[in-house]
Amino acid sequence: MSSSSPPAILADNLSKTYDRVPAVDALSFRVETGSVVGLLGGNGAGKTTTLAMIMGLTTPTAGSVRVFGADMARERGKVLHRINFESPYADLPHRLTVRQNLSVFGKLYGVQRLKARIEEIAEALDLAQFLDRRTGQLSAGQKTRAALAKALINEPDLLLLDEPTASLDPDTADWVRSHLEEFRRRRGATILLASHNMGEVERLCDRVIIMRTGRIVHNEPPDALIARYGRETLEEVFLDVARGRGAGARVETAQAIP
């Protein structure tokens, strides 16, 4: 990657207000290409709104967000084929089989040799025996893997994940994390991960952005954050931040763009 390449994500003074209530307030951060960044925060912190603005599904009230240099409010068509996402707010059509869903999305993303790609990704995600089953008939873990298969069908350069392992049993969740690690290692892809699972974030992320009431409170590597708070785990740090105590209680806007 040349040094002149734009970052995978560049948010500049990004704000969103609903009925005069700020959901996201002057957010500025960058996510370098090839990194895995965790987006953390309590319920209502603004994570999903931030993700929706990055995806171009929600128009910012102020500021801008660029993905691979493209302004997502005006130029999202230039980069959408390089992005994919998984979110609990979106399902795959339940009446279609897994294979049919992957076929439709593969064609939307312009994937060549699609049949082989579907077989390949089904094999990798342990979905081969479920390919011809209706998506609505799958278990929660199988549905998550099917959603992940859709999110990876185009081998995205940027993968946006909103709670990818929520509602999964520990074994399946661990399996999904391993697959994400393998995907990142193999493709050098950028991943932005919104999660409440601090163990997952510690394991996967190079950097964490912690949000509270729509603002960035911290933006640094998990190890540095844990050390600065004098804690053992990111979960303990998260609790300190959520309860407004400890080393990072102040809003560190200066750290917004490291």
Partner 1 sequence: MNEAPAGLELDRQRASAAGFSPARVMAMIERHLYLLGSSPVRLVDLAYWPTVQLLTWSFLQLYVGRTSQLPVLAAGTLIGGILLWDVLFRGQLGFSMSFLEEVWSRNLGHLLMSPLRPGEFVLSLMIMSILRLTIGLIPAVIIATTFFGFDLATLSFAIPFLFINLMLTAWSVGLVTSGLILRNGLAAETIAWSAMFAMMPFACISYPVATLPGVLQPIAWALPPTYVFEAMRAMLIAKSFRLDLLIESFALNLVWIGLGAVGFRALLASARRAGSLLAMGE
Contact footprint for partner 1 (CB under 8 A): 16, 18, 23, 34, 48-49, 52, 55-59, 77-85, 87, 89-97, 100, 103-105, 107-113, 116-117, 119-120, 134, 150, 154-155, 186-188
C-beta of 194: minimal distance to partner 1 in Å? 12
C-beta of 112: minimal distance to partner 1 in Å? 4
Residue 35's contacts (CB-CB under 8 Å, 6 or more residues apart) are 8, 190, 191, 206, 207
User: What values do phi and psi take at 216, rounded to 5?
Assistant: -80, 125
SS3 53: helix
User: By C-beta, is 150 or 218 nearer to partner 1?
Assistant: 150
C-beta of 18: minimal distance to partner 1 in Å? 7
38 conformational bin, left if phi > 0, alpha if psi -120 to 50, beta if neither: beta
User: By C-beta, is 134 or 228 nearer to partner 1?
Assistant: 134
User: By C-beta, is 158 or 205 nearer to partner 1?
Assistant: 158
C-beta of 95: minimal distance to partner 1 in Å? 5
User: By C-beta, is 196 or 228 nearer to partner 1?
Assistant: 196
User: What values do phi and psi take at 200, rounded to 5?
Assistant: -60, -45
C-beta of 110: minimal distance to partner 1 in Å? 3
C-beta of 84: minimal distance to partner 1 in Å? 8
Instruction: For residue 70, give the amino acid letter.
Output: A
User: By C-beta, is 7 or 248 nearer to partner 1?
Assistant: 7
**What does the buried/exposed string (b/e) look like for 6-32 if buried means 16 or more CB atoms within 10 Å of the residue's CB?**
ebbbbbbebbbeeeeebbbbbbebbbb
Of 113, 181, 95, give the one whose Cα is nearest residue 153: 113
Q: How far apart are alpha carbons 223 and 225 in whole angstroms?
A: 5
Q: How far apart are alpha carbons 40 and 127 in whole angstroms?
A: 30
User: By C-beta, is 104 or 239 nearer to partner 1?
Assistant: 104
